[in-house]
Amino acid sequence: MALIGTKAAARILGVTVGRLHQAAWLEKFPPPAKVNGGYIWTLEDLNRAHKVLKGRSLNLAALPPDMRDLVNRNTIVA
C-alpha cells in the first residue's frame, strides 16, 4: 500500500495543495491520518477526496503513467 504525502496527492488529484488542505479543514471528507504534522494519504483517502472535489471516483487508468506508479508503489512518497 502506498502512503502518499499531500503534495503528491494534490498532483494525483489535479488540485492545488491549498485546495486539498482547505477541503480537509472544512471537513468535506474525513481527513487522512496525520504523521508528524502532515497528512499521509492512502488510495482510499484519494478516492474519497476525488469524489468530493471532482464528483466522481478516481480512475487510475486515466492517470499519467508516472502518477499511476506513485499510487502503486509500496513506499512512502513525499
- Per-domain residue ranges of the chain: 3-77
Cα dihedral across residues 1, 76, 24, 33: positive or negative: positive
Contact 57, 47 (CB under 8 A): yes
C-alpha of 70 from chain center: 11
pLDDT band for position 10 (50/70/90)?
Answer: very high
pLDDT band for position 3 (50/70/90)?
Answer: confident
At 14-47, the pLDDT tens digits run 999 999 989 988 989 898 998 888 889 988 999 9
For 28, residues 6+ apart whose C-beta sits below 8 A from its C-beta are 52, 53
Residue 78 has pLDDT above 70, yes or no: no
DSSP state of 19: H
Can you give the pTM of this predicted structure?
0.80
